[in-house]
A and B are shown apart, each in its own frame.
Chain A
């Protein structure tokens, strides 16, 4: 019998085209997601070198980063954004790639629509010119973000030249306390290992707390693997995975489904497989988390205080803390729950799925958004929006004083009109609190959808369990 293998080892072996003499390997790419921001230069490269797209039907494109979340009928008013979206549409037409346009109800954030359409499946290799491609790892697919040169490489060859990463296991042991979600797990992980803690690794998330998550929750955890520096995040496929994918538009047909799911289950990490590094976290220690600074590792529990740089021994760390506090307009030792907010953003590839909107609506139901707060809900896709409306969630939000928007990346990266003004403070369910990320001078606090909704109601950072 061969030695026990991890899920990552198995997927790697299953996609090895050939080993090059220089120690790199050519890895086959099963599926490629394409969006408007990181693809135009890749298609231009193909044109210059007179190359074609090897597998147009393994490629799926949509526009998500640049598009407006209000009044879709008016089209895109920003000429540069419009050019980028139009360029993608033309490129797709020229190369025979399926393009979900802004008016298609299946349109949405690439990482939401891949799983939703069943385009994402266990055991696949999936890439996209977007760092949050790690999201698809929730299905036991090896999925990672690439640059535009590699987008071109995949379009032309359906492969990438890779060196194998190391295996890391992050085990979340035991049961999650009530009111604690996938977002809190992943923020806790990033706080624990740091934003470079996963560099050079593919992380596999294991343990009862991970197994108990829904597919949506698992996607939230895998989504932010990149914020921990990892190349990809993975969760072994199980019955939940199989149930989620059954009957999706791109899923294997009914008569192939049993065969496919048996294959998927066989990819789960073997008992006794060796990891290069193991991290163990007790789920019962996790309470709702928020970020205080300008790096996703600047995480504290909601009942905590803004940290004091004077307590930090490492000099460069101390300097960056001082800078972060100044940027965030926060004083050391302030209780987090006293921090007043101006804006709320619920959405993104991290937390723009139906379960996220349900969690936020539970908090919003029969309550009002604080007078001084502007709060927006941006569903991750047209189908998420439609489902939410079917469940009446839109009405709950609108009655509470939230704005109900059209799907897209929106204020996660603020490439469209949705952005913070300088010094505005935002409770956000997105994934990055970098300086300027949500608008120049804007101040971002990352948290779960329930926590962001609670912040909207109270007008300050709040513990969703106390509402």
Chain B
């Protein structure tokens, strides 16, 4: 996984609430056996009409947002299906940071597995940032210092954000979660031994 340090970019404003993962990446694109190549279909049904023609009014189709690395959106983003294809498509498009007032649980966790930083802020701050994003201002996201900064009307604005320590480290260092757990494989084996003596039927199950 690529490490996340600091990014600077304008931000895509998508002021919708309850954006679900079906909306982020519809089911017809879940038939892939790869993680890559999904970016062109991100927000497919909002982005293209029934003949596959880009819908001009949709924000991702506007030239100024084509290189954006940040998405600013509404509460409960990523609800619904657990499909990791949602963060894969977001990352493949080039977005590395999502700002919202809340995220659905599975999606939120999936982001960290893919080097995407989801930032939770309160609703007033999110709407302030939405406005700035509509004016295509440039934002800097500094993970190390947990700070969002941008310049508006010649004034420097800074917003701090909270983040769980473990999640921060994993993003900053691009850690291999499985490798870290396997380093504690002795604990796992000990657990299995304890569990097998307490609830032996869990270990003797066979399909009949």
Contacts and interface: CB of A to CB of B under 8 A. Distances in A.
Nearest to A232: B105
A121 to B, nearest CB: 8
B184 interface: yes
Contact of B114 (A28, A149, A158): A149
Contacts of A436: 22-23, 26, 45
Given A150-B113, A199-B102, A440-B45, A26 B207 contact: no
Given A196-B75, A199-B102, A146 B82 contact: yes
Contacts of A117: 207
B82 A131 contact: yes
B45 A434 contact: no
A253 B32 CA distance: 40
Of the listed residues B27, B45, B110, B192, the one surrounded by the most CB atoms of chain A closer than 10 A to its CB is B27
B128 interface: no
A81 B23 contact: no
Nearest to B166: A22
B140 interface: no
B207 A249 contact: yes
Contact of B208 (A23, A249, A422): A249
A414 interface: yes
B178 interface: yes
Contacts of B106: 131, 145-147, 226
Interface stretch (A36-44, A272-280, A354-362): A36-44
A317 B17 contact: yes
A230 B34 CA distance: 29
Given A51-B178, A320-B17, A434-B23, A157 B79 contact: no
B83 interface: yes
**Those 7 A-B pairs whose CB atoms lie nearest each other, nearest first:** A149-B113, A252-B201, A22-B166, A147-B84, A40-B33, A80-B31, A147-B110
Interface of A: 17-18, 20, 22-24, 26, 28, 30, 37-38, 40-41, 44, 49, 51, 54, 57, 65-66, 78, 80-81, 83-84, 87, 98, 117, 119, 121, 123-124, 129-131, 145-150, 152-153, 156-159, 161, 163, 195-196, 199-200, 226, 229-231, 249-250, 252-253, 256, 259-260, 263, 295, 316-317, 320, 413-415, 422, 432, 434-437, 440-441
16 contacts: A23-B164, A40-B33, A51-B178, A123-B199, A129-B82, A131-B81, A147-B106, A147-B109, A149-B84, A157-B181, A158-B188, A159-B188, A195-B79, A196-B76, A320-B17, A434-B23
Interface of B: 15-18, 20, 22-23, 26-28, 30-35, 45, 50, 74-76, 79-84, 87, 102, 104-106, 109-110, 113-114, 164-166, 169, 177-178, 180-182, 184-185, 187-188, 191-192, 195, 199-202, 204-208
Given A37-B31, A422-B50, 5 more contacts: A87-B33, A150-B109, A150-B113, A199-B105, A250-B208
